[in-house]
Structure 1
Amino acid sequence: MKFSANLGFLWNDRPLPDAIRAAGAAGFGAVECHWPYDIPAADTRAALEQTDLPMLGINTRRGNVAIGENGLSALPGRRSEARAAIDEALDYARATGTLAIHVMAGNSSGPLARAAFIDNLGYACAAAARHGITILIEPLNPYNAPGYFLNTTGQAADIIRTVAAPNLRMMFDCYHIQIIEGDVIRRLAATLDLVGHIQIAAVPDRGPPDHGELNYDHVLREIAALGWDRPIGAEYLPEGRTDDSLGWMKRFA
């Protein structure tokens, strides 16, 4: 089984190009990150080419983090800002060969928020399709992301089917889904045709996937049995040095 290092959390004590090189040296088969925009795309691409690692995904900007914003695309009245964030992510993805963009919804609720999200996702999908890029949406749990618009797999599936774009998929983060809904394997099996990426971390502390209430020996076997053969994102918070947290990889490789 192959894994993707989420460089928003792993090796985040160094510039992104150095983190990419560290992931390659550690044996990861891919990388992904959150918000790479402070690093020139040419520098990121050079590190990806040096290590021969694909960049699986990046996020759109959250907005004004100082006031708690966590995405823009489901915020009524913020269409121009949301689309500017989508355009920025698409430009960076094209320049680096990134395969997918997570369009962040933001903190909102209700029918107007849903309509705004669907409208902006339609825009994102049409623009991304011209370059073979996938658009991802991700349900987030209310403890880590209070007030976030998208918070169940059913809601995500409904939006994906409503937008009806072939390049719109769900990011299925086992950590978030276990906290929100539980029954991770059955929920993944029920939505697998809509899933574009899978992520893992321990529950409830979001540490390495080698402890906690999710038994990843079982979960990862079941994911493989479902036919998933793409890299799984390791989006966890290491305690201390990232290199000291990688014992789980040998266990699940």
Structure 2
Amino acid sequence: MSSGKLFDLTGQTAIVTGGGSGLGRLMALMLAEAGANVVVGSRRIEVCEKVVKEIEALGSQGLALVLDVTDPESARQAVDKAVSHFGKIEILINASGVASQTPAIETTLKEWKAMMDTNVTGTFLMCQAVGRHMIENEYGKIINISSTIGFKGTDPEVVDAIGYTTSKGAVMSLTKDLAVKWGRHGVNVNTIAPGIFPTGMNGSEVQGSLLQKAGPIIASQIPLMRIGSDNDLAGAVIYFASAASNYCTGQILAVDGGLWAK
């Protein structure tokens, strides 16, 4: 297979949860640029519809769906609608997530459950719903989105969010176990662990955000000496979604400018 075809997603269908904004939106557009049809799901249909228009402007087909990843019936219905519309699903990106900056001693049970319900249970429910379809077809690429802060404890002066860090560590373990369980069925399961990117709650324009409070300090500690940009995740996303990663499963790829290497 030529190098160009290794990364070509033409004719394939992807579901991107949390695809209406932030990194999820960026990943949906990356897949569309590589030729994939993209199903964009989140709780807010209006933002998904805007992303679908961007996908169509790139020459690919899109579908916007209301999706609550914490609800198994919502997950199942989204998969059924995607299959009904496009015929099959080859790719799933679990980008839905919530975050909070609450120290461990102050974290409420409600906050803790919110992190676990969306970031961990939601990821599992989507893997389960799509996994049934992929196992039946003996092919699939699942990409779970974690974070480099899921690798280890974090400096409380930079990130003090026990629920978020714990949930992202759990996503890594979920990925490894599903990879072992589903490899025999032709389903690859991997994780991308982004470092700091200026999207969503991290954005420098967001009052009290991580980048607003500690952006220059964080950038100075990154070996590549900068925060991640919009295009920095593209290579990892297309690699894990395409035939280029056919012999790669159960892996966690940090895309963080080298911060995790320190």
- Flag whether TM exceeds 0.5 (same fold): no
Q: Which has the higher helix share?
A: 2
What range describes the TM-score normalised by the shorter chain of this pair?
Answer: 0.3 to 0.5
TM-score, reference length from structure 2 = 0.37
